[in-house]
Amino acid sequence: MNKPRLIVNNSKNELKEENFFFNKNELKTILNLYAKMVSEGSWKDYGFNISKKNVSFNIFKRSSENAIFNICKNFKTKNDNLRYYVSDAQGNILSMSKNLETLIDKVKWNKYKIVN
């Protein structure tokens, strides 16, 4: 009579570590844009919003107010064009793209002036 054996298949290839943040090049691109807009006096503060579905870089005119723009990266997207998008304070999507650099170049940041 054979003894039952427990076989556990825990290969490292099956365990896929998911990265729930911007990578180094994406963050560099966003922070370069942020530095440019801060030097113009348009933006004052930033913050991050991180969840399992997406991560967003939130841009503030004043730190005591709500974010005026959100640069978001979707992790679990059905449409490839919604990988990166920019939304305003009301949640309206201003622009979307597969590539972050083309998204940032496509949006006319000076066109969107903040009115008090």
Instruction: Kindly tell me if the per-residue pLDDT of 55 is higher than 50.
Output: yes
Strand partners, 47: 58
Instruction: Kindly tell me if the per-residue pLDDT of 36 is higher than 50.
Output: yes
Band (pLDDT 50/70/90 cuts) for residue 42 is confident
> For residue 9, is it left (φ>0), alpha (ψ between -120 and 50) or beta?
beta
- pLDDT, residue 56, reads 94
Higher-pLDDT residue of 73, 63: 73
> For residue 91, is it left (φ>0), alpha (ψ between -120 and 50) or beta?
left
